Amino acid sequence: MTVVEEYFVEIIKLILSMTFTGSIISLFLFILKPTIKDKLPKSFQYYMWFSVVIALMLPVSKIIVVPISNNSSVLLESICDFTRWIADSISKKPINFVFTAQSVDERDIRQITYFPSTAIILFVFWQLGMVLVLGFNIICYVSYVRKLNIHNISANQQETALLNNLLGRKNTLKLYKNSIVKTPILIGFFHPAIILPDKKYEDMKLKNILMHEITHMKRYDIFVKWLLIFVGAIHWFNPLVYFVRQEMNKACELACDESVIKRFDISEMQQYGDTLIAVAADSIRKMPLSITMFENKRNLKERLDAIMKHKKHSKRTVIVASSFLVTIVCAILGFSTLQGIENGYSYADNYPLPQDQKHIKEIELKNILCNYDKKSIAEAYAFLSDSDGEITNAYITIICQGKTPDFEMQSGIKSLASEELELDVQNIYVDYVDFESFISNQTETDGLYVTSCHGNGIRKMSDSKGLLH
């Protein structure tokens, strides 16, 4: 397995571990939701979902990927086992080569056909899906903004004055009217703007609409929208992520309503509810990466109920609930950590294990030797022995294009390996094999897998000492 393939394997393991941890936390929150629905602030119920986003973005549990038996009939009893099985399969499956004999000018030539490893196939498949999902959302957003800009007209002086009065400062948020917009929206990441339908609103309804959109802006909900798009693109293969995104959008609106009405009296709450009904009465169309005052008519009843049942919650209740949530999330992450430790993975840092480091050294040494004299060296193989994590000896086999190299070149190869590995020359053992002998032995042996020179992947080879791999 080449260094590039090893990196691909690590990336896939990382993504699988993050999606597994995020899924476990999200399932816990979905189970918890009915219990806390009317007992905790809507803002708390919104921000608790950020624990899922963090788990999906940060490699807090990369070490849950552990090796399992090579037996293909192993029973996968849980999602965690399934994740481990995938990671183990992609990290161990070698690259296959097909050798086809052809006769050209009475000489036997072997044609090598390369098949990408499972790691490369899965990595490319995952990356292609991520690019498609992210690209689709960006293209839709850009085209929609361009369409809006064609029909945008500035709001009148009275409406702009009301917006500036609610903001407390001027020209920090633009206000437009648009004939193609059916419901008020907040759009724009660096330069946010409120866009209203091209119609006349009563003063109280307009005030409620502007307060709602201003609250979204102050809470950076546009940024959250983009963040969810990015997370959804990374984990496009996980259907649970789409439910999390939908739930967060709904929780965001409930939290925004709560923030707007927290100082309202009963009459003002009723007027705010009437505004929601009026906005919901307009036809609603999906708008890319924007925040509308009302996105889903099915949520109208829940939002109206939340407004009429609004009450202040004590700080003690919020603190207790926060402590409970943090404890559960830490327990889930801790469980993942223990799983990794029990299976021999280090979580102290992100550096490879000693065996991985040794294998990378072998690949690097092989590449250096191949580039030493490309005309004379067809391939190179290396095996490093170690003691207590330190390399002690190097066993190298050089496949020569022609005759065995002269003494000067042999000394240069040993010196190069000695310098690269920081070993004494006497601890480096080099054998030389001509290419024709190597090819003839290739079909007679079924030895160990080794990394081929010149990027030809993995070939089978055995040596009399049993040292190569």
Q: Is residue 468 part of a domain?
A: no
Q: Is residue 122 part of a domain?
A: no
16 and 68 housed in the same domain: yes
- At residue 244, the pLDDT reads 94
Query: In whole angstroms, how far apart are CA 315 and each of 319, 322, 325?
Result: 6, 10, 15
Q: How many domains does the chain have?
A: 3
298 and 159 housed in the same domain: yes
Q: Is residue 338 part of a domain?
A: yes
420 and 297 housed in the same domain: no
Asked whether 236 and 217 are in contact (CB, 8 A), the reply is no
Q: Is residue 121 part of a domain?
A: no
Task: Write down which residue in 311, 334, 367 finishes a domain.
Answer: 311
pLDDT tens for 181-233 read: 888 889 888 888 999 988 888 889 999 999 999 999 999 999 999 999 999 99
- At residue 214, the pLDDT reads 92
232 and 277 housed in the same domain: yes
97 and 162 housed in the same domain: no
Q: Is residue 466 part of a domain?
A: no
Q: Is residue 379 part of a domain?
A: yes
**Cα–Cα dist 425/416, whole Å:** 9
Q: Is residue 234 part of a domain?
A: yes
CATH number at residue 370: 3.30.300.30
- At residue 3, the pLDDT reads 63
Boundaries of domain holding 304: 129-311
394 and 444 housed in the same domain: yes
Asked whether 110 and 101 are in contact (CB, 8 A), the reply is yes
- At residue 462, the pLDDT reads 39
**Cα–Cα dist 182/217, whole Å:** 20
Report residue 354 as tokens. Answer: 């000693």
Percent of the chain with pLDDT over 70: 70
88 and 59 housed in the same domain: yes
50 and 90 housed in the same domain: yes
Query: Going residue by residue through the chain (469 aa), what tens digit of pLDDT does each one get?
Result: 566 667 777 788 888 888 888 898 999 999 988 888 888 888 888 999 999 998 898 875 454 443 333 333 333 344 445 455 455 554 444 444 444 444 444 444 444 444 456 777 888 899 999 999 999 999 999 998 999 999 899 888 888 889 888 887 766 788 999 988 888 889 888 888 999 988 888 889 999 999 999 999 999 999 999 999 999 999 999 999 999 999 999 999 999 999 999 888 888 899 998 888 888 776 555 566 666 665 666 677 888 888 887 877 777 877 888 888 888 777 776 665 555 444 444 433 444 445 667 778 888 888 888 888 878 888 888 888 887 778 888 888 888 887 778 888 888 888 888 888 888 888 888 888 887 776 666 555 444 444 445 444 434 443 433 444 3
In sequence order, what DSSP letters do the residues of 190-257 get, joined into one string? SS-EEEEESS---HHHHHHHHHHHHHHHHTTHHHHHHHHHHHHHHTTT-HHHHHHHHHHHHHHHHHHH
Task: Write down which residue in 253, 288, 311 finishes a domain.
Answer: 311
**Cα–Cα dist 289/137, whole Å:** 8
**Cα–Cα dist 55/60, whole Å:** 7
Let me know the angle formed at the C-alpha of 92 by 90 and 96, rounded to the nearest 5 degrees.
Answer: 90
Asked whether 53 and 231 are in contact (CB, 8 A), the reply is yes
243 and 145 housed in the same domain: yes
Q: Is residue 256 part of a domain?
A: yes
333 and 448 housed in the same domain: no
300 and 427 housed in the same domain: no
**Cα–Cα dist 461/442, whole Å:** 6
251 and 298 housed in the same domain: yes
H or E segment to which residue 154 belongs: strand 152-154
**Cα–Cα dist 287/145, whole Å:** 10
Over the Cα atoms of the chain, what is R_g?
32
Let me know the angle formed at the C-alpha of 230 by 228 and 235, rounded to the nearest 5 degrees.
Answer: 90
